[in-house]
Amino acid sequence: MLPTQLPPISEIAPGLFIGCFEASKDIKILMNHDITAMVSLGQRRAKEWDRVGNRMLVAAADHLIVPCTDMPGEDILAKLPDICDFIEAHLNAKPPRFADLLLSAPDREMGCGLEDLNTSSYFAKHNVLVHCNLGISRSATVVAAYLMRKRRQSRDQTLAYMRKKRRVQPIQNFLDQLQIWDEVEYFPWEDPGRTVPKEPYSIFLESSTPIHDYGRSVAFPILRLSLSAVEQLPPRPSV
């Protein structure tokens, strides 16, 4: 199957979806799959994300935008702990309570006709969409990292499971980092302040030329969580 023949969105695990860039903008796709939180991996920003209707479904506080290229040298490993925390918090959160506001919004602001959508059942779930450009490499890497941590499974076990749901193929750079993710037990630093990388991660940093040097930064500037989501963050793995 060619990448262009992939469905725009696929459920990989209960409540957790991988999709393409176009799916992230499509209000009907978001509603039909009960998407209320989103992780966007890439270098493009869609104006549709900020439409009134889209933000009623996925509020800005529930939308994590992660600058990330699909190239050798991209350090995605440093971003994974916070992205996984974001996914975990939103999968466990209660669905939002603004169905009445959604139904009262004018169609011209929603960007589509609501009369054809099953709005009565929407918000029964709190699902998360992780997307990149095609839904093959970056988004697959992030979802694999989340499932590896959640299920304590290896990289290869996790990818084999995911490929039963969608034809995913992280680039070699990301495959290597997923292996390190396993070796460092889902947290690549020795200290909670994220200043001292564990040995496998340190070797990776020394042997590569990261496009974005997040691994050496204490601050992580891209995480945006609502208060309710922060309160539900799982404990940090012991270091």
Whether 238 is in a domain gets the answer no
Whether 120 is in a domain gets the answer yes
- Give 73-113 pLDDT, tens digit per residue: 899 999 999 999 999 999 988 765 555 445 545 454 444 54
Whether 208 is in a domain gets the answer yes
What pLDDT, on a 0 to 100 scale, did the predictor assign at position 4?
A: 54
What pLDDT, on a 0 to 100 scale, did the predictor assign at position 115?
A: 46
Token look-up 């209000």 returns 27
| Residue 123's pLDDT band (cuts 50, 70, 90) | low
Whole-number percent of the chain with pLDDT over 70: 72
Structural domain including 70 reads: 3-231
Whether 23 is in a domain gets the answer yes
Beta pairing class for 9-13 and 16-19? antiparallel
- Give 155-170 pLDDT, tens digit per residue: 999 999 999 999 999 9
Whether 237 is in a domain gets the answer no
Task: Name the domain count of the chain.
Answer: 1
Whether 112 is in a domain gets the answer yes
CATH (domain of 11): 3.90.190.10
Gap between the Cα atoms of 209 and 176, Å rounded: 14
Kindly state the average pLDDT of the residues 195-202.
97
- Is this prediction's pTM over 0.85? no
Whether 84 is in a domain gets the answer yes
pLDDT above 80 (res 215): no
Whether 59 is in a domain gets the answer yes
